Amino acid sequence: MSYTYEYSRPALTVDCVVFGLDQDDLKVLLIQRGLEPFAGQWALPGGFVRIDESPEASARRELQEETGVRDVFLEQLYTFGEPSRDPREHVISIAHYALVNLDDHEIRAATDARQAGWFAIDDVPTLAFDHGTILKMAHDRLCGKVRYQPIGFELLPDKFALRQLQNLYEKVLDRQIDKRNFRKKILSMGILQELDEVETDVSHRAARLYRFDKGKYNDMFKNGFNFEI
Partner DNA sequence: TAAGTATAGTGTACATGCAACACTATGTCA
Partner DNA sequence: TGACATAGTGTTGCATGTACACTATACTTA
Q: Residue 50 corresponds to which amino acid?
A: R
Report how far residue 64's alpha carbon sits from residue 62's, in angstroms, rounded to the nearest whole number.
5
- 223 lies in the binding site for DNA (CB under 7 A): no
- 207 lies in the binding site for DNA (CB under 7 A): yes
Site string for a second copy, 11-40 (x = CB under 8 A): xx----------------------------
> What's the residue count for the chain?
229
b (16+ CB within 10 A) / e for 163-193: ebbbbbbebbbeeeeeeeebeeebeeeebbe
CA distances from 125 to 42, 51, 228 (A): 7, 33, 32
Interacting positions 138-177 with DNA (CB under 7 A): 161-163
Residues 6+ apart with CB under 8 A from 173: 143, 146, 147, 229
Q: Smaller CB distance to DNA: residue 57 or 206? A: 206
Look at residue 207 and give the partner it binds from DNA, a second copy, none, a contact being a CB closer than 5 to 8 Å depending on partner kind.
DNA
Q: How far is the CB of 142 from DNA (least distance, A)?
A: 20
- 196 lies in the binding site for DNA (CB under 7 A): no
Q: Smaller CB distance to DNA: residue 54 or 181? A: 181
By CB under 7 A, which span of 93-101, 124-132, 137-145, 197-205 interacts with DNA?
197-205
Residues that bind a second copy (CB under 8 A): 1-12, 48-55, 76, 78-79, 81-83, 90, 92, 94
